[in-house]
Each structure stands twice: as C-alpha cells, then as structure tokens.
Structure 1
Amino acid sequence: MWGNNPQTKDEIVTATTSMVIKCLTEKPVVYTPYRLSLAERKVVKQITTELLQNGIIRESRSPYASPILLVKKKDGTPRLCVDFRALNQITKKERYPLPLIEDHLDRLGGYSFFTTLDLSSGFYQVPMSDESIEKTAFVTPDGHFEFTRMPFGLANAPAVFQRLMNAVLGDLRFEVALVYVDDIIIPSKTVREGLEKLKVILERLREHDLTLKLSKCSFLQSSIEYLGREISSSGVRPGSNKTKAILDMPPPRSIKQVRQFLGLAGYFRKFVQNFASITQPLTKLLKSNCPWQWDDEQQNAVDQIKRALVTRPVLMIFDPTLPTEVHTDASKVGLGGVLLQVDTEHKKRAVAYYSRQNSALEQRYHSYELETLAVLESLRHFRVYLVGIKFKLVTDCSAIRSTAVKKDIIPRVGRWWMELQDYNFDIEYRPGSRMSHVDCLSRNPPVVKSINNVINITEADWLQAAQLQDEELLRIRGMLESKKCDPSTKSYFEHYTLRDGKLHRKVDNGCKWVVPRANRWQICKLCHDDIGHFGLEKTLAKIKENYWFAGMRQFVKKYVEACLNCLYYKAPTARKPGLLHPIQKVEEKEHSIARNCRRIHEIHDYRTCTKHKSKISNPGLGRRNKHFWSPRAVATPRANGQCERFNRTILSSLAAMNGGCEDTKWDTHVKAVQRGLNGTIHKTLGTTPAEVLFGCKPRSVAESILLSELQEELDRTDLTTLRKQVEDRVATDQAVQKTRFDARRGKARDYQTGDLVTVVKTDFPATGESRKLLPKFKGPYRITAKLPNDRYAVSRVSEKYRRCPTVVSVDKLKPWITMKDLVSIAIAQ
C-alpha cells in the first residue's frame, strides 16, 4: 500500500485502465537529441538506468523519437522530462472533464478533520497500451527508449488519470472522499469517522493495486493545504504558501515580472473584490505602446492586492425571499456592481461582486453610456439570481431612470435596454457620495468597512443558527430538552431527536437534519444547482441523504421546475405532449387545401390528394399571402404534413430529372412532376388523385392517340362511388396513423390565457459552432389565445419585443415557474 520507489515491474501497475494514444496522422514524430553537457549526460544515463531497472521504460526500435531535457525539482535535484509537444499536437484530445475546483471546495464546508492522500509517482502506476508504447519513444545522446507506463507531459494524461480515480473510488466519490487527479481528500466531522473513511479508501486502493507516498500524506488535520487553498473547519481561505509568495515578492522590475505577478495574483481573483480595477495600473504596462514607468500608482496597486488577499470578505448565501438590490457604478477605468440582500436584522449584506476593465473603445463612451453598460453587465453576471424576482436597481446616474420612457435614444443604448427587459426591477437614484462601496469596483479606493462586516459560516453553522430562529422548531426543541413525554408530546419524541445541538428527524435509514422553512432554498441549491442540475428524483434522493423537511417532494418539484438554467438548457425527457389531430372530413361543397410556398407554390387538395405547383419568381409572394391563410405552428412540420411529405418526393424527382444540369433549369420539370404525382396510384386512395378529381384516368398524349373514344367512354368512373370509397380508405388510414402516433405521446398540458411559458429555440446563429451547450428554450412568453388542435398563440412578455403573436404547438412549450410560486408553497406548508 505504501511505497516510494518501485522495485519490480508489476508491483505498482494497476490493471483498471491503460493509457491509449490516438494520433490524427500516421506520420511519426522524429527529433534528434538535444545537446547536453558531459555532466548532464551522466545524470541522464543514471536516470534512464534506474527507469529501466524499475520497468518504467525499455529500449526501443520505434519510428517515433521525442527529445529530452533536464529540469530541476523544487529541492534542486534534476528530473528527466520528455518534450512531447510535437506528439501532443497530433494527438486526438480527450474531453474527459476534470472536477471543478470550486465545486470541491464547496463540499468541504462543515467538516473538522481532513486527511489527504498522494499517490506515489501516480502516473507511473498506469500502464501504456501495447499499441501506444512506441509513440512515447524518446532519444538521449546514448540511446533510444520508450515508456511502458504513462509518462508525464502527455496531453491526455490528466484526463486518463482522473478517469482512473473516478472508476477506483466509484460510489465513494463525494460521499467519502474527493479526488482531483492524484490528490485525494477525506473530510470528516470526528476522528472516528475519519478513520473509518480512511480504512474504506485504503481498501479500495489496494483492490486496484494503487500505492501511496507516505511522506506526502497527512492524516486527520484540522487545517490543510488543498488545491492551493487553506481548508479548515472555519472555511476556505487562500493557501498560506501562495499568499506568502505574494507578500514576500519584491516589486516587479520588468514587463515579464509584471506578467508573473498578475498570473500569481489572478489565481485568487475570486477573493479580491475589485481585482479588475485595482490591477489596471499594472495591466496597462503590458501594452506594446506603453513605456515602462513604475511609480506610486503601480506600487499602490501591488500593495492593495496583497492586503485584499489577507483581508478578503466572505459572501452570504443568496435567499430569493429576502429584499434584493443591485448597486452599479462605472468610470473610464472599469465597471462594477454589487448584489446585496437585506437580512432578517435589516442589514444589507453582500452576496456577490462584479468588476471588469473597460476596453479601449468603451473608454471613449459617454458617462451615461458607461453607466448603462455597468447596469447591463452587472445584471448579466447576476442573472441566475435575478430572473424571476423583483429587485431594486440603485445607480448614481439619474438619466438611467428616464431611459425606460424615452422615445429617442441612441441605438447602442437601445439594444442594451431591450436586453434589460427580461428583468423586473425598480430604479432608484442615489448620489455618488452614497455609492462609494460600488465606486471602489470601477476605480481603486480602499475597501469600505461596511462590506468587511460580512462573515463566513459553514453549512452546519448556518443550519443550526436557522433552526434556532424558527419558532416551530424551537417549540419542538423545547419539548425534547424538557424530556417530559406525555400523550400530547409522544409523537415528537418518536419522530425527532437532538444531536450535537441540532434537531434531527428520525427516518427509516437514520436521522436527518431538519431544515427550517426559510432555508429550504439553500438546501435545494446545494443539491440541485451545485451538482449538475439533475431532475426531480436525483435531486430529491440527494437531499434525503442528509436533510428532511415537510412537503419535501412538492417543494423540490417546484424548485426544479422553477430553475432558470433547467428551463432554458434542458429538454424534457418525458413523452412529448399532444396527440395527433387528423384533417376532418369536409362536405361535398367544401374544400380543405394545404399550401406551401417558397420557391415552388404548392397546393394540396386534402379531398382528392391532387397537387398543383408553379415556380415562384418572387420569393416574397409566400410572405405577402400569409394574411389569407391559417398559419401553422412554428417548427411543427406535421401541421402541414402532406405538403411536407410530398416535398421529399418532389425534390428527389426534380433532382433526377434535372440530371446534373444548371440549378436554374429545374423549373422546366415542375409540370412533368405534377402530372406524374397526380397520374400515379396513391397508396392511401387506392387510385390516382386525378381520377378522384375528374372521374377518369389521366392519359398521356400518346395514349390519347392510340385509344379510341369508345375505350375512353369505358374508362369513365362513377365519381360519387369512387369518392365514397376514397373517403373510407382515408378515414381508415388516418385512424391507423393516429393510433401509431398517439402511442408515443403523452397528455397535453392545458395552458390558460395569461400563463407564462418558454418556447423551444429554433433561431440558432449560423456560426458553425456546436449547439449542444446552447439554450434549448427562450422566454418568457405569455399565452394570448388558445387555438384548436393543441396550439397556442404566444407573445413576448417584454413590451420591446411585442410583435404579432406566434402560433406554437403544445409540445414546443414548457411552463414558466417563478420563485413566487415556490414562496406560496412554503407559506402554505
């Protein structure tokens, strides 16, 4: 289990996975060895000899040959590194995701002890696949070798190792331990729990033949360094090693040193309230036309960053039921915004900060434009919190208040203001003297004291504090603490218990934390928003692992339905709603026809299935005639199904008859295709459409000459009888199609006029980029009318977007659930 140096070829090689290199080309990478000094050659020979003895490399006859170089480790000892850059350029990249560091850090709240495990030469414990070994070949001045185990420097190595660790831990991930590549952390609330979890992890590693480096492991520490941060029971802070490096760093003396300082400081961007504006004096030195100048402005920027890292504020958790405000400000340097909420003590506390620098073009904007841009960018940044609730927008620009009613505004501001219509807010003007807390985000004054009052609390802390503020839970706690059980309180003793000062609910699989009414949103956010936006059942199962509250299923169901990201980005997985509505039978004196036109004007008679076509010389005809027709639902081909189906036949026939001629000649074949469709037997009708229409079989010119008039008379059909037979066949076919279609569909939701919905998104930009991560729905829209056959007329909620209503089929809609609906459920419970 523990090892620092591999002794045999098989001792620390796992059989769980192997490293496979897939190349985009078969041309091998070939380089000559880099030149080395005599002393360096001796070091290389010593290292390769050791690797050969340990079975990590072997001598090679591969056509591949990557060069090597020597680099120094932190302790000053040399390390042999293979320059795989050329190989990586032709390697097919894997897209296996590494865990999000912030997600890991969020999961570590509420624990008191931490154990970290580090694998011994982790990459070397993964074998290379047989077909990929030759691609890792490298050359030294004294030989040609190849890796039998996964080396450092390969493009896909981190992804392969992360996949390995995910497979090794399996169901233990998140529940027992977290893993980032080869760094494993085991959080626990007690020493006993930590030892039990450690035993489980060690047994799992042993099963997969993975070894650890004891000197790099730490056990049951109250404070540790993990992923560059300092983790403790009180929360997460920047790691002391990183902050010490910044505080001890001398002032930059060159452009290169400025870049290095910004790169290191940028690692902690989240912990610095006004990072963009503070670093502006430094970033402007990186411009090619800016001369080097280091004075008090640059030195103050460096000092402010250092102070901010050790005195950072901690943000409170967002609660959609609390009064919400967004404060914005702008300057020539940058834009800034703060999202605040008024807590139960009527104090304003920060939830999130936003800041960024202005571009060269934006710096030339008028102050009114900059202030409007600050509002737009801040609301974009805080969108996930603000959409669906009403909030107050506070700005020191009085002109913004009149923008909503102005008729003549510049186009740029007009475009921005149209986007702001998705939000529901009231504007409050506040003079700049009262906006210094936001002004520091767009400029660089000292941090105001009021924001520094925000304190950090763990998940266990805020849940326990919330229980102490809930009257119903306080009443239950009082009963349990009194230990007086009588018939009136017996049920409380049967269902509730106190552990470590927290109220728990007794359930079948143990005891779970009781969540106060006001804190259900936070729990749903932790178990839905922060772990992948999964559906109702997975979210509910995750919550039930640790928490309990009354009416959980109904509340979580509404929360998932109201999730803005899920509304926009997730397609429904259940059966599509809406049944098939065949064209109804028409009377003899009536006709029902379908029309489709863009380049060909096509008219389809539903009664006889005859087609009439002509080329449209002016494509605008199709749009101008829309007022004389009943429009079908958007993105719903079945609404004009017969025309859409025959389009495929028409196109294939035109392509075959055109036979590779110029694209402009296809219209000469339209009449021939029309005659062919009307003169051939239709499967549903059992005869030709022309015969149903005219009462006789259509003939070509040649047939008319050869056949006598007597034969023509014999060919005439009893039209009434024929059409009755056709109607029966069509009705039978429609019934079969409806049964087949409805078997795959669900019951349609009955929307009412005035309901808010989202509509499936079809207007994707033609950029050639993948659409997989783009929104699948847009909105909100409002139902303006109910139409027959599961169709609705909808229009945008915003006044700026209102046009003629759009007709949409029910399977293209999703209900828009607001947080207000969620609040009403919580109050009712």
Structure 2
Amino acid sequence: MGLFGYYREFVDRFAEVAEPLTRLAKGWKFESDGTRSRLVRKDGTASSTADETVIWGDEQERSFTALQRSIASPPVLAHPDPTRPYILYVDASKVAFAAVLHQIFADEDMVDVAPAPAYPAVGGSLTSGPVPRERWSAWLRLDRYFGPIVRRLGEASETSTEEEWSLEEGALFRRVDGRWALPEAALPVVLRAVHDHNGHFGYTKTFLAVSKSFWRPRLTDAVRAWVAHCLICRKTKVGRHVGALAIENDAQAPFEAISVDLVLGLPPSHGNDAVLSVLCLFSRMVLLEPCKSTITAAGIASILSNRVLRMGWRPRRIVSDSEARVTGQVLQSLAESLGATLTPSPPHHQQANAVERAVQTVQNALRALTLDGRAPWDRSAVPAVELAINSTPSVTTGCRPFDLVFVDHPDVAHAVFDAGARGDGSSFDDVLAAAADRMTEARRVIDVERLRQKRRYDASRAPLPVLQAGDQVYVRLGDRPIPGLGGGKLDPKTAGPFAVREVLSPHRVRLSLPSDLRIGDEFAVDQLDVLPSSPDPFGPMRNSPAPDVDAAAISDSGPGIGDGGDAVDEDDGSAEESIGLAPRARRAPPMLRGFQVGTLRAAPAASAEFFDGPLTGTRKVEIGGRSVTLRKRPIAYQSRLTSIAEKKLVAPELELCCLAWAFARMAHLLEGARVTVVTDHAPMGAMLTSATGIHYGPTITRCRALLLPHLHNLRFVHRPGRLHSNADALSRLVG
C-alpha cells in the first residue's frame, strides 16, 4: 500500500479501488520501541506478524490486480513515438505562455511479437544461448584437454560417482561445483559477451564473471590476455603510473642544489608583476626577488649571481622548468662556469621541480600579507614572506632554514620580547659545534624521510618499462594534454597508438606523431601507456564470429585424442582446417537486446494522414485491413509567465513568441518531425511565410529566425478560443 499510495494521484478513483486493501489493514500499525518496531493490534496490545492471520480473498486480489495494472501503465503522459507526427497546441495570454504536445495512438498496437535474440549464455543452462549444443559439443571434442574426457565418458556404460566430470547431452560440467567445461574455441564467444558487451570491466571482474559459470585450465591467462589487448580499454582507461623515486643524488649541503621558478600573474607594482623563486633543496631556504614577467635569461642569471653566487654559494645542480629562457644558452653558460649541471624538468611534469611546492606556500603567504592592500607587495610583502619562511622550521628537517645555512641566528623569542643574551656563557666553539650537530641531525632526518617517501612512491607505481624504437604506446591525456582531445567527460583518456621513434633515456622518448597534432614529440615514460609486448593470442578471433563446426564430420576419435583415449597429442592444425567461418549475424548489441520485445511493422503510407491530427475524442479507422481506434494522448506540458517586454506585444506577436518558445523547449522531440500547430490566431502561418517589406521588431525577428528552418515540417490549424480549451486554460493558470 505504501507504493500504491505514492502514485494515488495518477490512479482514477484510488480510494474506491483500494478500499478492500485498506479495510484489510485497518487498525493495525507498527510502533517504534527504541531500536525495534513492533506490531500493535486494534485493541492496543503488542503482537508479531508470525502470530497474526490475514484473510486474503477474491475482493482483495481484484483490488491488488487493478492497482498493479494502473501503476504499470502510463497514467497521464504517453511515451513519445518519434515515427509519428506531433500535435502542438499553443496559446498565449498577457499573463503566461502555454504549450501542450500530443500524439495520436492506436488502441491496438501494431506489433508482431517475435522472440528476441540473446547473447551467449554465461550462467545457467547452455541451451538458453545462441550457440547450438551440437556446435558446443563439437568444440569440446576438438579441445585438446576436454576431448579425451568426452570420449571416455561417452564410451562408459554408466558414470561413476567418483568421476570429476559428467556428460549431459553433449555438454560437459564439473560435479564438484557445477561449472561448464569451456572449450578453447568458445573462449572468444564467452569473453566477448562478458567483457566487450558488458561494460569492459577489468581483469578481476571479468575473471569472476567467467569463472562463476565456466572452468578451463589456465583460464586466468586467457582472461588476462583478452583484457590486456582490448583496444577500447586502452583508450578509455589508464594504467598505473610507472617509475621509481631517485634519492641517490640528493643534496647534502646548503645550496649544493637549487631549484628555480618564475611566479607569474601578480598585479603590477612598481613595474614588477612576477617573482623569481630560488629554493635550496637541502635547507629549504627560499630566496624571492620581484621582477617583470618579461624578464630575459640575462636578467635571471643576474638575479642568481646577486642572491646566490654573491653569498659564496656554488650550486652543483640547477633545476628549472623547460621554458626557453631558463634552458637557453645564457643559463647553460652560467652552469658551465660553475661546473654545475642544468637539469630542466619535463613539460607537464611539475612534480619534478621541488620549488613548485614552495611556490604554493609563497603565494598563500603573499595573499595573507596583502589582504588589506595598504603596502605594495613587491617592496613590503615579498621580503616579509622570505623572512617568515626562512625563520620557520621546515616540516621535513625540523630546523629553520637559517639554522642550516648560518652558524647562529636569533630565534622567535627575540621577535616577541627583548630577551637579550641568555647568559649561558657559550663560546664560539660551542656555537660552531651546535651548528655542526644541527647539520648532522638534518641529514639523518632527511635521509629517513626520503626513504619513507621512496617506499610510498614506489609502492604506488609500476616498474619503469624498457622501451625500444618501434614500440606502440598511448599518450595519457591527463598527464600530457593534447589540444582538441580528451576535453569531455565521455572522451577517451588516451590518444594513440603511436610508435616510439627514439629512446633518449630510460625516462624520455621521442614519438612519431601526426603533423596535425602540433605538439612536441618528446615525452616522459610515465606519460605513456605501453602496449603489451607479447602478441595477442586471440588475434583475428577477437572481432570475428564464432567458428562454425560440422559436427557430423568429426569422429569420436577426433584430433588431439590418442588411441587409448587418455593421452593428449600436440595439435597438428587439422582442427583449424575443418573449421569455417559462419556468415556474420546481424543483430543489435547485447546490452540492447532485452528491449526487443517484438518486430515493428510500418503502417501503410495511406494511414499517415490519420496521425496528423488534430483529433477530437476517438475515431475508428481501417488501417491495413484492421479496425483500430485512434486516441489523442498528451506527451508533455510546458508553461511560463510572460516577461515585461512580452506583455507589451499585440496578440499575434505574443502567439508567435509562444510558438518559438515552445518549439525551443521541445526541440529534442520536434526537430525533423512533422508538427501540426494548433492555435487560435489565424495569421500565425502568414507571419512566418510573409515576404513583404514589413519591418518586424527584434523579438519577432528572433522568433522567425528560430522557426523558419523548420517551416517545411510545420502545418498550422486555426481553432477559435472556445474550441482551444486545453492550452488556453493552461496559459491562464497563475499562482
């Protein structure tokens, strides 16, 4: 009754139809008692459903059947039929627009019921699938593993209870779990049904679905190969990232390795709109220098000389992004003069440049310090942010960057109050020893943390593949975007396959790309998905229909069965020579076959006029030698209030605006279909077909531009207001 009550407004005389069921349950109720619910009788005493008897008679059965039939059929709106014309009732008042869409249906549905084709059976009896049992039996006799078993069971007078397999009408199944024997020739049929036609799920789900009903030796290898070589899965899914975190070349002293990046997008201040960030990879000290976003390579080299080299630091490795001004000749010359290595990070691989994480901290601090907007960010906020970061302990080392770069530095107590000297009598040697201890402890903490990062990083990634020239790969669009590809939710996640043209290093390759892509051909290996190097064992069978086998041409001692019936010989190829390809079956995709409840028969052309409408009441006509009753059914309702500008239009213009609005709202149904427009304004069609020099306002011009491309499918019927009651009433329902 709860379900029926939810739809009561759609059931005619619901209370009268449901009265027997309501009377049956009258007085009973469930009450909540803490965490449990209990049944309460009419007299208020508690009971349980097991102790009560309900008399279900013919009256209740008829009521239940009537309610079930009512909610199982369309109560108000009919489902649109795109093969039939539509009838669109429109009406406009000064208050609102209204539109009602109808179609004419025949009470007798012209459908010849025919059995729908099914996909290969994956569970239950084999007789329910399209593969004939004779063909399945022939596949079993040809199989190198199941052939001897079928022969042995076929020759036995009775099956032993200790036998693992049982033969039932030519099909073999295991006694222990009831799974069917899966011959090798049927593998593509089953895997195509379970994987290709059922969502393209991964190996685990596909194997569980197949192994629930079938058994075969090395079934895991077959399923894994089918999924691994599926081209659709390669385009719609991405594998695990590859690679390992290298920690062998980590910096062991301050400014032994630095990372450089340019922060753009800042508001102009004193000619500056960017900040050059320099990060010491050991101490995590950050150096910030305001500059212009158009700074040249010489300007970057000048800042590095002033902020890094002038302090006596000599980097051995300089990490930057792949921008031309930081990887060009100027920075390369600077690196050569220092004996340093310039290592630009790959494009679209920001995690290779450690300063990117520090830039986020810098931006957050700048945003907080410039919130009031009183002081210029380049002269006040940037120095304050640099001092704040360098005087705050690092999460990794636990030490302030100043403490790892300088021997001694004031702590936070001096900034809070006048602490003065602590008076501990520490000599310079003690201060120097304390600084050395800090360096040693920082190295130890960094090594421990980096080992932990490496274990976590490597555990989440697959080993780095070894690529060679000619290997086929897919580009992961999430890691290396390609303009025009992968922009939507339903677009493929990879592009390709492309061939590897050159291997630059274990981590970098060049690909042979089409010229229309217009992107660089150098890629990081972790931006690629590599096709399996092993050949596809299914090959052409992946998209081919099941092989047809002449069961009568196969003897009981078919290929692969020895004289004794127990030994299994190597396949000599005779089985493949006797197998021919059957004609391709033309049928709908398996996921849609459940909706094929019959075969549609087109109505005769002479009957098309019966469905154009409009229709008042019902009408009996003869169609194709059969008498049917035509009835108009509503498809959709639409209404809205008019705008202030629309209220000023005259009646014909207001009606035309209403038609344009209704057509736009229902364009997904009406575009390309024959539509009969029923309106109470006669000049509607003339306003659209007029070729005179009448000047229309912008509102009517837009309406004409929307409707004119569909004018050849529109037919206008004029009905006076007293006969145009449905849409006319809907346009006047306000509030």
TM-score band, normalised by shorter chain: 0.3 to 0.5
What TM-score, normalized by structure 2, do the two folds share?
0.43
**TM superposition score normalised by structure 1:** 0.39
Larger Rg: 2
Higher relative contact order at CA 8 Å, sep ≥6: structure 1 or structure 2?
2
